[in-house]
Amino acid sequence: MENDNINDEAKNLTVSDDISKKVKELENRIAALEKKDDHLTMVLFSGDFDKAMAAFIIANGGIAMDMKVTIFATFWGLDVLKKSSFDTAGRGFLEKMVLAMRPKGSGKLGTSKMNFGGIGPKLFKFMMKRKNIEQLESLINMAQEYGVRIIACQMTVDLMGLKLSDLIDGIESGGVGAFLASSSHSNTTLFI
């Protein structure tokens, strides 16, 4: 009987031990799922001043809430990240033409509504200053300083005849896979 008793004990311990391990494993998987609450991934497709404002206000809001923020900039969204000047010597004719027609950087963007040939953004900047709202350039700087990860879509960088060095510093380049790897672990995903 003592023997039986020892066997029982062994059995119980084994069962408990297996379950404990399993429960620990499940807890880790739950923690990984919960972490998505704190991840925010945005596609910045638009190069409109107002949409870029929205994207970077949300990004900085995320940072303020301790979230991990990733911005995947593609197509016209690259306009937002351009340096205010860069040399296009040595690029093809079409690339030069497209680059010449697109705004260079966050200071030159038009608005999606009420642009009025460029007066719209100036008006909004003036109104924003009066209301003590951070300007787009400051929002981008803050985002980068506080660790927002900005990925420039390599395919559209190539397509637009851009080089990574034409964009402000601290931008990674990556493909749609980099976006999806981030978005599939983010609870908040937006296409702006």
Of 40, 78, 80, 150, the residue at the interface with a second copy (CB under 8 A) is 40
**Residue 180: CB minimum distance to a second copy, A:** 6
Within 52-71, which residues bind a second copy (CB under 8 A)?
Answer: 53-54, 57-58, 60-62, 64-65, 67
Beta-strand pair 188-191/68-73: unpaired
- Let me know: does 181 contact 151? Beta carbons within 8 Å: no
**Residue 169: CB minimum distance to a second copy, A:** 25
3-state SS of 125-184 is: HHHHHHCCCCCHHHHHHHHHHCCCEEEEEHHHHHHCCCCHHHECCCCEEECHHHHHHHHC
Within 111-170, which residues bind a second copy (CB under 8 A)?
Answer: 112-114, 123-124, 126-128, 131, 133, 155, 158-159
Q: Taking CB under 8 A as the rule, does residue 93 contact a second copy?
A: no
29 phi and psi, to 5 degrees?
A: -70, -35
Q: Taking CB under 8 A as the rule, does residue 30 contact a second copy?
A: yes
Nearer to a second copy, 126 or 145 (CB): 126
